[in-house]
Amino acid sequence: MGLTEIYREGKKILGEKEFGWVLDAVETGFILEHDRHILDRYTFRPQYIDGVAPKTTCRILDVELATPVIMSAMTMPIPAIRDNGTMDVAQALKDAGSLMWTGTPTPKNLKELAATGVPIVANVKPFKDRDKMFRDLEEIQKAGVTWVGIETDAGQGTKIHDKQVASGCAPLSLQELKDIRKKVSCPLICKGILGRRDAEKCVEAGADGMVVSNHGAHTLDYLPHALQVMDEIVEAVGGKIVLIVDGGFRRGSDVLKGLAFGASLVGLGRPILYGLAAEGREGVYHLINEITEEMKRIMSLIGAEDPGKLTRDMLIEDP
Ligand SMILES: Cc1cc2nc3c(=O)[nH]c(=O)nc-3n(C[C@H](O)[C@H](O)[C@H](O)COP(=O)(O)O)c2cc1C
């Protein structure tokens, strides 16, 4: 299946299931369309003459990947899409040389997922019950995750349309982030940063990376797209920590825009679910592979030899 078919088939299958609404957005639904609008504002500046031979391999925080296209944090609704869904996703991402990122609830089989050899990042929410949050942080590390993610943006839980889905959360303080840092012995990634001040605090807390993200429209309404705030965040972190983006990235062209703005990795949320629904393990593998192949075609004719060589002047912004 090509990408268009994976998306069409995946959306159809998920739309027929009762949980299809989890793919929707908070309150007015503004964010999803706006994400697409922002990504579509950039075109590529071709350099046909003396084209380059591109590669997509990268090494981020000591993890070797065949592609900078990774899974964004999600657990729900993977087990409801396919019985062995989380394992199918882990194996597909391993085959594609990508990375798996789980969300809440933490998958019960996290240890088995890690045993597949795919690099795993597991997220923890800032539960009001901070003891639970710290217990979760300990458990995911025992399961053998590669990095730990903290949902810095989930202080008001998760909301889709008018329905509060995940509650019982409270915003973290800088001191709490520093406390979390002390309890995490592997790289720590703060997820959901969308501005200079939070970015600076993550650096101060000792985070190794951050995901610039509007949480796929599942937290607050009217949040900007990651690309709108990348410049201020790149400047704020000054190359000290790794930047990852997600939100609405669907094709190789989208991923290259994220990299050109200074991200090292680009996350996919809903597309992973579409791939899984359409074709199971094969569907997720094809999804990552097709996007990576699309990237290579474009990279060869815009002068980008590897994911770290994408620069802003390779893009032209609509007036
Ligand atoms: C069904 C679903 C579940 C999600 N669960 C989590 C989660 O548990 N933790 C988290 O940090 N983000 C979660 N997200 C947000 C994703 O990690 C990611 O930020 C977002 O989906 C990216 O946008 P995209 O779906 O347009 O690719 C979820 C998103 C979806 C669609």
Quote the CA–CA distance of 173 and 211 in Å, as a whole number.
Answer: 18
| pLDDT > 90? residue 19 | no
Nearest to 71 by CA among 98, 52, 41, 45: 98
Helical axes 270-300 vs 85-96, angle rounded to 10° = 10
Neighbours of 222 (CB within 10 A): 12
pLDDT for position 242: 98
Quote the CA–CA distance of 88 and 82 in Å, as a whole number.
Answer: 9
**What residues have CB less than 8 Å from 282, skipping those under 6 apart?**
92
pLDDT for position 215: 98
Q: Is 84 exposed, middle or buried (0-12, 13-18, 19+ CB in 10 A)?
A: middle
Quote the CA–CA distance of 92 and 85 in Å, as a whole number.
Answer: 10
Catalytic pick from 34, 215, 218, 225?
A: 215
pLDDT confidence band for 181 (50 / 70 / 90): very high
Q: Which of 3, 17, 165, 218 to mutate to test the pocket of ligand 1 (most atoms within 8 A of CB)?
A: 218
Quote the CA–CA distance of 106 and 250 in Å, as a whole number.
Answer: 25
Q: Is 215 a catalytic residue?
A: yes
- State which ligand 1 atom lies nearest to the alpha carbon of 153: 11
Cβ atoms of 248 and 259 within 8 Å: the answer is no
| Mean pLDDT, range 289-310, rounded to an integer | 98
Helix, strand, coil percent values for the chain (each to nearest 5)? 45, 20, 35
Cβ atoms of 246 and 213 within 8 Å: the answer is yes
| Mean pLDDT, range 288-304, rounded to an integer | 98
Cβ atoms of 156 and 143 within 8 Å: the answer is no
- State which ligand 1 atom lies nearest to the alpha carbon of 211: 19
How many structural domains does the chain have? Answer: 1
Q: Percentage of the chain surpassing pLDDT 70?
A: 100
Neighbours of 254 (CB within 10 A): 24
CA of 72 to the centre of ligand 1 (A): 6
Q: Which of 33, 156, 215 to mutate to test the pocket of ligand 1 (most atoms within 8 A of CB)?
A: 215
Least confident range from 12-26, 127-141, 280-294: namely 12-26
pLDDT for position 218: 98
CA of 165 to the centre of ligand 1 (A): 13
| Mean pLDDT, range 88-115, rounded to an integer | 97
pLDDT confidence band for 1 (50 / 70 / 90): confident
pLDDT for position 20: 87
Q: Which domain holds residue 262?
A: 3-317
CA of 103 to the centre of ligand 1 (A): 8
**What residues have CB less than 8 Å from 145, skipping those under 6 apart?**
110, 114, 120, 121, 122, 186
pLDDT for position 121: 98
DSSP 88: H
**Tens digits of per-residue pLDDT, 194-209?**
999 999 999 999 999 9
- State which ligand 1 atom lies nearest to the alpha carbon of 213: 19
CA of 184 to the centre of ligand 1 (A): 22
Residue ranges lining ligand 1, Cβ < 6 Å: 22-23, 72-77, 103-104, 123, 151, 191, 213, 215-216, 218, 246-249, 268-270
| Mean pLDDT, range 119-132, rounded to an integer | 98
CA of 51 to the centre of ligand 1 (A): 36
Cβ atoms of 252 and 295 within 8 Å: the answer is yes
Q: What is the CATH number of the domain that holds 119?
A: 3.20.20.70
